[in-house]
């Protein structure tokens, strides 16, 4: 079982819709979680981090964490074509010595 899992996609949503990206993790001791956006040929860009159960909102982005279910999600409201990218979910190991990345979900927002 991989430590951090994501649907590889591609996930296609129409412009203006809500895109929902999901991530599960296997190590119950993980405490910190991150969402990165990566455009093709570019480096990962931090979008959100979340430590506490519940929702965390930043503009059009909402991260949701459910530690009991070992589940993290990212909602993108009013999706724009510029949101088309690969979204990487990452979890910090309980020892906090490294961050484990999921395989990424490719999102395509159709105009």
Binding site for another protein (CB under 8 A): 31-32, 34, 36, 41-46, 49, 88, 92, 96-99, 101-104
Report in angstroms how near the CB of residue 84 gets to another protein at its nearest: 15
Report in angstroms how near the CB of residue 62 gets to another protein at its nearest: 18
Structure tokens at 67: 């530690």
Report in angstroms how near the CB of residue 97 gets to another protein at its nearest: 6
Cα angle: 65, vertex 5, 76; to 5 degrees = 50
Report in angstroms how near the CB of residue 32 gets to another protein at its nearest: 6
Q: Pick the closer one to another protein by CB: 52 or 111.
A: 52
Separation CA 100–CA 33 (nearest Å): 9
Taking alpha carbons only, the member of 67, 65, 101 closest to residue 86 is 101
Classified as helix, coil or strand, 83 is helix
Q: Pick the closer one to another protein by CB: 17 or 56.
A: 56
Residues 6+ apart with CB under 8 A from 68: 53
Q: Pick the closer one to another protein by CB: 2 or 77.
A: 2
């Amino acid at each position: 079982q991989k430590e951090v899992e994501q649907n590889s996609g591609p996930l296609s949503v129409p412009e203006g819709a809500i895109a929902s990206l999901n991530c599960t993790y296997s190590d119950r001791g993980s405490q910190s979680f991150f969402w990165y956006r990566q455009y093709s040929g570019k480096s990962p860009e931090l979008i959100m981090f979340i430590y506490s159960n519940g929702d965390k909102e930043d503009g059009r982005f909402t991260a949701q964490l459910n530690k009991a279910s070992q589940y993290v999600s990212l909602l993108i409201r009013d999706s724009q074509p510029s949101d088309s990218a690969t979204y990487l979910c990452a979890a910090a190991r309980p020892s906090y010595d490294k961050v484990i990345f999921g395989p990424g979900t490719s999102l395509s927002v159709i105009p």
